[in-house]
Amino acid sequence: MGRSFSDLAWFIGARLLQLIPVLFGVILLTFLLSHVAVKNPCEAWNPHAKRNVILACQHFWGFNQPLPVQFEKYLSLLLQGNWGTDPSGSPVLPAILAGVPETLELVLASLFLMIVIGITLGVVAARYAGRWPDHLVRIFYLSGWAAPTYLAAILLSIVVAPAIGFPTENAFTYNPPPFPQPTHMSVLDAMLAGSGSGTLDALKHLALPSIALAFLNLGIITRMTRGSMLDILPLDFIKGARMKGLSEERVLFRHALRNSLITTTTVLGFTASGLLAGTIVVEEVFAWPGIGRYSFNAILGYNFAGTIGVVVVFAIAVVVANLLADIAYGFLDPRVEWR
């Protein structure tokens, strides 16, 4: 194993192969949960329906068949690309796919905030380790952790947004917006359409939800940057750079930070899970049309196919995020070999 592109391809292939048993387990687990825990889904869907309606419903969905038969049927349809339908009969897959770019935009925006703010704060905290800037940074990032996402989200949407004149719902003020949406990422669409006011509108809509989402995970980035900077700052090459007479910012941000970023990158993968969980709450509060909101409605609406579908999408997202973090790690650290 080495560092050539064929090694990288093997590495990615092997990791994606490992995804298969995990996905199977995830599907089996969610399927069992939804079909064992809920005694009679038809009654959950129509609480006041008559007996014969319930029976017809059970027959229609095949709930009266043995569980293994139901699972086999579900799985074979899934492998053919049919992810099933929600209780009202509309297919699940298009609805989930429609939410993916919207959620991706939200997550990327808050990832951007997390990285920029988190790394800066981490560098400052490490530079002044044990003194008041360090303490302030620690209080700040621990508050991000301590303030539940839903609290930050409702305070931002109900109290802060009206005060500063920011919109609180959806990705655009006009729905649908007056230009085509090829990517379904609001800011990107507006920029592609060359609409300045549209871009500003989209950014304003994106700002508060992405802040609410970023606040929670800011701490991890800050902590890791601070920790790895503390490891690197006492090393000789930093002293050397100082002795050369380089400015302190240059020493910190060019020499030290570049090396400490290697550690920070790895934790970015871990934050994926937390960010996705956060989207459920943030999208619900800000009426953001992504998968977080879809999964919330699917779970609470006894939409089994939808629930399994979003869980599968989330599992893939978490694994891919960790894979991307590993690849980035490999590119940043020349000693790493793909295996």
Partner 1 sequence: MEGPPRPSPPGIGVTLPKEPGLGETLSEALQTLRANLLTLVGFVLVVLILGLALLVWAVPVVTGLFGPALSILPYDPNALNPNASYLPPGPHHWFGTDEDGRDLFARVLTALPLDMGIAVVIVGAAVMIGGGLGLVSGFWETSRTARVVSATILRVTDIFLAFPTLVLALAIAALLGRDLTSTLIALIATWWPYYVRLVRGEVLTIKHQGYIPAARALGVREPTILFRHVLRNLLEPLVVYMTLDIGTVLVTFSTIAFVAIPLPPNQPEWGSMIANYQGYLPQFLWMVLAPGAAIFVSVLSFSLLGDGMRDVLDPRTRRAFARVRANLASPEPVPGSAEA
- The span of 51-59, 61-69, 75-83, 144-152 binding partner 1 (CB under 8 A) equals 144-152
Distances (CA, A) of 133 to 120, 200, 222: 12, 34, 13
Give the footprint of partner 1 on residues 183-242 (CB under 8 A).
223, 227, 230-231, 233-234, 242
SS3 state of residue 328: helix
User: What is the number of other CB atoms lying within 10 angstroms of the CB of residue 48?
Assistant: 6
Give the footprint of partner 1 on residues 120-139 (CB under 8 A).
124, 126-130, 133, 135, 138-139
Q: Which of 13, 62, 94, 162 forms a contact with partner 1 (CB under 8 A)?
A: 162
x/- track of binding to partner 1 for residues 236-255 (CB under 8 A): ------xx-xxxxx------
CB of 313 to partner 1, least distance (A): 9
Task: Give the pair of three-digit tokens for residue 231.
Answer: 């490891």
Give the footprint of partner 1 on residues 51-80 (CB under 8 A).
none
Would you call 202 exposed, middle or buried from its count of C-beta atoms within 10 A (0-12, 13-18, 19+)?
buried
**Nearest one of 269, 138, 288, 139 to 208, comparing CA atoms:** 288
Residue 176: is the preceding peptide bond cis (ω within 30°)?
Answer: yes
Q: How far apart are CA 282 and CA 293, in angstroms?
A: 8
* 38 touches partner 1 (CB under 8 A): yes
Residues that bind partner 1 in the complex, under the rule CB under 8 A:
21-23, 25-26, 29-30, 33-34, 37-38, 124, 126-130, 133, 135, 138-139, 142-143, 145-151, 154-155, 158-159, 162, 223, 227, 230-231, 233-234, 242-243, 245-249, 273-274, 276-277, 280-281, 284, 295-296, 299-300, 302, 307, 310-311, 314-315, 318-319
